[in-house]
Amino acid sequence: MFLAIDVGNSQTTIGLIENGSVERRWRLKTDRLDTSDELDAALRSFLALDGIALADVHAAAVASVVPVLTDMWRNALAHALGKEPFIVSAAEVRGIEVAMPYPSQIGADRIADAVEARGTYGSPAIVVDFGTATNIDVVDARGRYRGGCIAPGLMLSASALFEKAAKLASIPIEVPPAPIGDTTEHALQSGLVLGVAAQAEGLVARIKAQLAAEEGVDGIDCPVIATGGLSRVIGQATDVFTAVDVDLTLRGIWRIWQAR
């Protein structure tokens, strides 16, 4: 079995993969103060709770956007597994051409999304990843990673709104019954959830138009995949997505490790 670790700014997702399929997944809050010993203990606890022996894990890879935790996870996995994990980097990724001037600036999770989108859904493809930030990543018709868009994520926007607006309080993050909110709660849900969905629709439409213009065609049809922690909620608010694939990033880490 293979361990894929996706270290995000807010949450870290750990996936246990066998034959390309995510068999188990665990989440923990990303804490920049975590030590390698604490991460080692957390990993062992997750595996033990599901009755999985460390000896059954043959390799691991880490895609991290938190540099200080990259080294902590490297040390934790080396101690737990007795071997160094593979560290995903867009600057050194194999199996996909990065058609951007500064590959080292690309988040490891973004390149993992792009690689897996191309591998599973073909190219061109568009991925919308709903995390701390909303990332949109684009694979063009030639199978190259082209970049995309980065915007504040839904929860980041919600937290800022609740902090700065004295009369507004936290609400359940779910699709409202209608765009016109008849209560403050529904109005907030409309602005936040439907607003993020509308943002995705608008940006996807502009990206498709650019891809079509580059290919010299009137329009382009390509899969649009939603992933990330809030993808299921946003997916209920729009029909722009071809698929909601919550394990896309974890499988992308595994696919990059295979091509190393």
The annotation status of 110 as a binding-site residue, yes or no, is: yes
13 is in an annotated binding site: yes
Q: Is 21 annotated as a binding residue?
A: no
Catalytic residue among 31, 50, 56, 109: 109
The answer to whether 40 is a known catalytic residue is no
**40 has binding-site annotation:** no
* 12 assigned binding-site residue: yes
What string of H, E and C letters represents the secondary structure of the chain?
CEEEEEECCCEEEEEEEECCEEEEEEEEECCCCCCHHHHHHHHHHHHHHCCCCHHHCCEEEEEECCHHHHHHHHHHHHHHHCCCCEECCCCCCCCCCECCCCHHHCCHHHHHHHHHHHHHHCCCEEEEEECCEEEEEEECCCCCEEEEEEEECHHHHHHHHHHHCCCCCCCCCCCCCCCCCCCHHHHHHHHHHHHHHHHHHHHHHHHHHHHHHHHCCCCCCCCEEEECCCHHHHHCCCCCCCEECCCHHHHHHHHHHHCC
Binding site annotation covers 242?
no
Q: Is 245 annotated as a binding residue?
A: no
Q: Is 137 annotated as a binding residue?
A: no
Is 184 annotated in a binding site? The answer is yes
> Which residues are part of a known binding site for K(+)?
129
> Which residues are part of a known binding site?
6-13, 107-110, 129, 132, 184
> Which residues are part of a known binding site for ATP?
6-13, 132
* Residues taking part in catalysis: 109
> Which residues are part of a known binding site for substrate?
107-110, 184
